[in-house]
């Protein structure tokens, strides 16, 4: 959040209605929900509840309610909450069974958490999305649209779980794809690349920005895609890749091209904001912290 990632709100640049302090307040507001998720995971590991009783949907909805109560800058962390809530629950399961979190165990438990979701979880997440009011979602889903009031009734009547909903949307949404495919970008792209960059550059901010660019280069941002189309999203990904080929922040040519990309992404109404990439980066950093990194 604080690192000056291109096109995102950071400590140096705000959007017109969503500012850096809104993200800070949201980060404070969401902590109890992540603690709640971890506690439910601990209860699963201890046998006190079954995985389907974690109620991850209610936890996500609780997080959005708290975020809205703490700030007035609109949707700040919905995608991050969607990604980090299962990670927090899985971490709770993993920590009870193991003194240290291993990546294979964490991924296994994330899969357990998401595949154990229920239709009630799906309804709660639909309500959370409507409360957060993210841009670019209206009318985009071919079925079970979040803005269609009939969708929640159908979820319950046909017993469609949250995991099944995300399997449908995984075709066109990166966050859904992370959920249903064991977080491939987070674990297989972002985490190893960040670890490598931190070692090579010795600078946390540089490692964060480079990892952001690496993810953006390999995975066209689906928030941008929903707003302006796949072709433009791919063009932006290509530019992110070009920056890294030039050396990123470690080379003057990379820094110059990064500055130009940042200016391009800050166009009218922030239609080119790589928000999904930022959400996935937050998931990467959560794994980094769970593995013991301290700045």
pLDDT for position 171: 93
Is residue 287's pLDDT more than 60? yes
pLDDT in tens, 172-216: 999 999 999 999 999 999 999 999 999 999 999 999 999 999 999
Is residue 139's pLDDT more than 80? no
pLDDT in tens, 226-273: 999 999 999 999 999 999 999 999 999 999 999 999 999 998 888 999
pLDDT in tens, 154-163: 999 999 999 9
pLDDT in tens, 24-36: 999 999 999 999 9
Domains of the chain: 20-290 (1.10.4200.10)
Q: How confident is the model at residue 222 (pLDDT cuts 50, 70, 90)?
A: very high
**Can you give the pTM of this predicted structure?**
0.95
HSE-CB at 211 with a 13 A cutoff on CA atoms is: 33
Q: How confident is the model at residue 136 (pLDDT cuts 50, 70, 90)?
A: low
Q: How confident is the model at residue 137 (pLDDT cuts 50, 70, 90)?
A: low
pLDDT in tens, 66-97: 999 999 999 999 999 999 999 999 999 998 76
């Amino acid at each position: 959040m604080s690192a000056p990632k291109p096109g995102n709100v950071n400590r140096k640049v705000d959007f017109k209605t969503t500012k850096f302090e809104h993200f800070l307040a949201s980060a404070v507001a969401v902590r109890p929900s992540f603690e709640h998720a971890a506690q439910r995971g601990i209860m699963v590991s201890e046998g006190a509840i079954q995985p389907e009783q974690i109620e991850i949907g209610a936890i996500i909805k609780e997080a959005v309610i708290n975020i809205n109560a703490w700030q007035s800058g609109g949707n700040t962390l919905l995608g991050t909450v969607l990604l980090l809530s299962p990670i927090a629950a899985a971490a709770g399961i993993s920590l009870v069974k193991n003194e240290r979190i291993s990546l294979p165990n964490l991924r296994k438990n994330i899969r357990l958490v998401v595949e154990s979701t229920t239709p009630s979880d799906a309804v709660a997440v639909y309500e959370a999305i409507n409360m957060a009011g993210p841009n670019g979602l209206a009318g985009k889903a071919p079925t079970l649209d979040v803005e269609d009031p009939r969708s929640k009734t159908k979820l319950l009547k046909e017993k469609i779980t949250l995991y099944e909903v995300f399997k449908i949307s995984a075709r066109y949404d990166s966050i859904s794809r992370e959920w249903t495919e064991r977080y491939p970008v987070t674990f297989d792209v972002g985490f190893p690349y960040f670890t490598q960059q931190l070692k090579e550059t010795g600078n946390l901010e540089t490692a964060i920005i480079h990892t952001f660019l690496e993810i953006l280069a390999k995975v066209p941002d689906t928030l941008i895609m929903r707003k302006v189309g796949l072709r433009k999203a791919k063009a932006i990904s290509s530019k992110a890749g070009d920056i890294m080929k030039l050396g990123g922040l470690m080379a003057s040519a990379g820094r110059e091209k990064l500055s130009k990309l940042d200016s391009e992404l800050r166009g009218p109404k922030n239609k080119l904001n790589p928000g999904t990439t930022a959400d996935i980066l937050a998931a990467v950093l959560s794994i980094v912290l769970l593995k013991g990194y301290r700045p």
